[in-house]
Amino acid sequence: MLYKKSTYKSITILLIVLLCVSFFVNIGLGSVSISLKEIFLTIIGHQENYIIQHYRLPKAFTAVLAGSGLGISGLLMQTLFRNPLAGPFVLGISSGASLGVAIVILGSSLMGGFLATVFISKWSIVIAASLGSFIVLLAVMIVAAKIRDTMAILIIGLMFGSITAALVSVLSYFSSAELIQQYVFWGFGNLGNLTWYEVVIFFSIYAVGIVLSMMSMKNLNTLLLGENYAKSLGLNVKKSRFIIIIATCLLAGSVTAFAGPIAFIGLAVPHIARQIFNTSNHKILLPSVFIIGSIVMLICDSISQLPSSDYTLPINAITSLFGAPVVIWLLLRKRKMVF
Amino acid sequence: MFNLTVKTLNNIIFEKTITLKFSTLFLLSLLLFSCIENNKSDTIFDSTNVKSAENSYATGFSLNNYDGWDVLEIYSPWPNSQKNYHYLIKHKFDTINKLLPVFDYDGIIEIPVEKIIVTSTTHIPALELLGTENTLIGFPGTQYVSSEKTRLRIDNGEVRELGNNETINTEIVLDLKPDILVGYGIGNQNKALETINNSGTSVLYNGDWVEASPLGKAEWIKFFGILYDKKKEADSIFDIIETNYMAAKTLAQNVKKRPKVLCGAMHNNVWYLPQGTSPEAQILKDANVNYLWGDTKGKGSLALNFESIFEKAQNASLWFSPSYYNSYEELMLASTHYSQFNAFKNKSIYSFANTKGATGGVLYYELGTARPDLVLKDIIKISHPTLLQEYNTYFFKPLQ
């Protein structure tokens, strides 16, 4: 049974409040305890605090961008492939990015010791990850133009994943322990190493992806009926498939480039949204995935900081540890999956 | 300084876990470790008539005499190892055909060793100090060797390349037929080394990197002294190193002003730095500096959040070994947060990463273990500029 309009509204308002709360909780919690007053004064600009201004705030914004970006790209993929197991990385975006990063980090030793550390700057990693996912995207697009069956694209994406994983293991065999260590650390995911400047660049790529996915909302609803039916309704399946794939690549690709391959969020958040709102209408799902994705990411980041301890856990471990039980619980409670 | 983490990670990688399943792996390894049981009893070694040659610092090995037989015992070839290794030492020119004692030893070593394979760069200085570098016939990762003497032998093709320590090229090793292979394990037996051991070549595990103190690590030269039947030479070399170390330590204790010191750098927002009782931190303590995490306890490295490091060490006046970074520019490129530290602003960062051999091996990783006296003097010279004015730092250089 679908909810009434007023129910959607009240749930949405509740979620927005929750988003604001988790945003401020995220800023307020960390290894160093900073008083609420000091945080407030810093945010309104009356006081200088390096940790708040240049560490926690950019980190919180990155968490919002990453959480919502991954959630939305996951939703797009699940609808496009009509498969509840799809996620933002099924097209091989993260494998493409991993290969790019692996070539920069692990391959740098082949370019000679002097160049090695020059190459492994933050920007070269971002550029390599973007290039890597872009090349995979290009390959997927070429395939998509030739193939009618959307499922074939899914399998081809998985194949790209296997190829890149194989190349990465060959590269790591010939690399020194320090370089492998760096590559592994990249794979843990990282929200907190971005400057404001980088957050702005991240946001601009991300914004294009969001606009494209908002443009596709109606088409996504039509696609839910099946490709043949969508065609008979006058939908240009190839064109809308193209836009959806580009939007996913921009969203998931930019997140992977700036924050590393963050697992799980993209798969789980659309399910959480469907269970909460009990609908598969994208006009409702898209904004709710945006909000829920941000909330989940902010909470996961707050947990991974292990507030008031000196330690931090890798964000990738927390998203799965925390997120998987939530999805299981939601499915058990409803006994039926909304898809 | 992060030898331990690097080695452990290396091991993790080669078990095919690049795919981020870190947590699963961690749980698995916990399970594995708890399943390993020590079945082998060491009863014979508890017997009477034991004479030990005591080490002053090293706790990982000892030479004991059981009923007239020399036995080299290795206690902790890797952290938390369950098994002790016993090697019977037999002199090659021993004319008396004594009956070999019947007990459970892991191998017989005929000394002096004439053909050796070592697997860690930290073993190279010991060979050279004992004047036995000509016995080295193979090494995994020869490009990491910096010492000129051994480099020359590698370039002349006298030392074979054996690949990687974790996946050492077994065929070449068997072909070379060394008298012994000195390996190291990381957390458990190395499978490739097991195969070699079963083929008849004695594999000895060297645990210099597990030792808890800098002088303990250096004392492993006595281990090589035993293998080459040069115990006396090894003893006197170590005595000189120890005397130098103690003299430098005494010199530093008289200084009143102790600069605040920060170490390490971030990987992925997590700052890695040595724990307060690690060998690295002991050197800092002996150099009489105020290492800001000197009161923590533990052997390995701390992994701390950026925030807590920043709060504590923002005003530190010195910063040692920021990971592999060679220059201030590289630090900036990696993270702009680094530039907020006073040590960065005042250009007071020192690293051993710039002191490299001809083929790019970091000298500190090779010689630093064998010569803690030089490491200590480096730190003293940098931290207390009034001391050791004639001395030029050996490993630590200012960041470019």
**How much of chain B, in percent, has pLDDT values that exceed 70?**
83
**Residue B93: pLDDT above 80?**
no
Q: How many CB atoms lie within 10 A of CB A48?
A: 9
Q: Is residue A231 part of a domain?
A: yes
Partners of B333 on chain A (C-beta within 8 Å) are 121-123
- Using the CB atoms, write b or e for A152-178: b if 16+ within 10 Å: ebbebbeebbeebbebbeebbeebbbb
Q: Is residue A212 part of a domain?
A: yes
Q: Is residue A329 part of a domain?
A: no
pLDDT in tens, A311-337: 788 888 888 887 788 778 877 876 666
Secondary structure E strands in chain A: none
Return the minimum-mean-pLDDT range out of A115-124, B21-30, B75-84, B285-294: B21-30
**Residue B19: pLDDT above 80?**
no
Mean pLDDT of chain B: 81
Mean pLDDT of chain A: 83
Per-residue pLDDT at A99: 87
User: Which residues fall within 8 angstroms of residue A60, CB to CB, at 6 or more apart?
Assistant: A23, A26, A27, A298, A301
Most confident segment among B164-168, B199-203, B255-259: B255-259
Nearest CA in chain A to B326: A117
**Residue B2: pLDDT above 60?**
no
Return the minimum-mean-pLDDT range out of A247-251, A329-333, B111-115, B314-318: A329-333
CB contact (8 A) between residue B356 and residue A314: no
Q: Give me the DSSP letters along B90-154.
A: EETT--S-PPPP-S--SEEEEES--SEEE-SGGGHHHHHHTT-GGGEEEETTGGG---HHHHHHH
Q: How many CB atoms lie within 10 A of CB B176?
A: 16
Instruction: Provide the 3-class DSSP secondary structure of residue A131.
Output: helix
For the segment B62-84, the average pLDDT, to the nearest whole number, is 82
Ordered structural domains, chain B, with CATH? 41-210 (3.40.50.1980), 254-398 (3.40.50.1980)
Dist CA A158 CA A137 (whole Å):
13
Q: B335: left (phi > 0), else alpha (psi -120 to 50), else beta?
A: beta
Residue A308 contacts B, CB cutoff 8 Å: no
User: For residue A259, what are its two tokens?
Assistant: 């924050």
**Residue B224: pLDDT above 90?**
yes
**Residue B151: pLDDT above 60?**
yes
**Residue B331: pLDDT above 50?**
yes
User: For residue A56, what are its two tokens?
Assistant: 């926690």
Q: Is residue A303 part of a domain?
A: yes
Q: Where are the alpha helices (DSSP H) in B278-327?
A: 279-286, 306-313
Q: Closest partner residue to A192 among B23, B269, B304, by Cβ? A: B269
User: Residue B263: which pLDDT band, with cuts at 50, 70 and 90?
Assistant: very high
Per-residue pLDDT at A297: 93
For the segment B251-257, the average pLDDT, to the nearest whole number, is 88
Residue ranges of chain A with per-residue pLDDT less than 70: 1-2, 108-121, 334-339
Dist CA B251 CA B360 (whole Å):
34
Show the domain range for A67: 30-317
Long-range contacts of the stretch B234-242 (C-beta < 8 A, 24+): B234/B130, B237/B129, B237/B130, B241/B215, B241/B370, B241/B371, B241/B372, B241/B373, B242/B56, B242/B215, B242/B218, B242/B373
User: For residue A35, what are its two tokens?
Assistant: 């008083």
Q: Is residue A144 part of a domain?
A: yes
Closest CA to A261 of A110, A36, A97: A97
Q: Is residue A19 part of a domain?
A: no
**Residue B97: pLDDT above 70?**
no
- In terms of DSSP bridges, do strands B116-118 and B290-291 run parallel, antiparallel, or are they unpaired? unpaired
Per-residue pLDDT at B100: 63
Per-residue pLDDT at B103: 63
Q: Is residue A296 part of a domain?
A: yes
Dist CA A316 CA B385 (whole Å):
45
Q: How many domains does chain A have?
A: 1
Per-residue pLDDT at B42: 45
Q: Which CATH number does the domain housing residue A71 bear?
A: 1.10.3470.10
Mutate to test the interface with B, among A94, A312, A316 (most CBs of B within 10 A): A312
Distance, CA of B324 to chain centre: 18
CA distance A330 to chain B (A): 24
Q: Give the side-chain half-sphere CA count within 13 A for B142.
A: 20
Q: Is residue A338 part of a domain?
A: no
Nearest CA in chain A to B166: A173
Return the minimum-mean-pLDDT range out of A45-49, A284-288, B69-73, B124-128: A45-49
ipTM of the complex: 0.71
Q: How many CB atoms lie within 10 A of CB B41?
A: 9
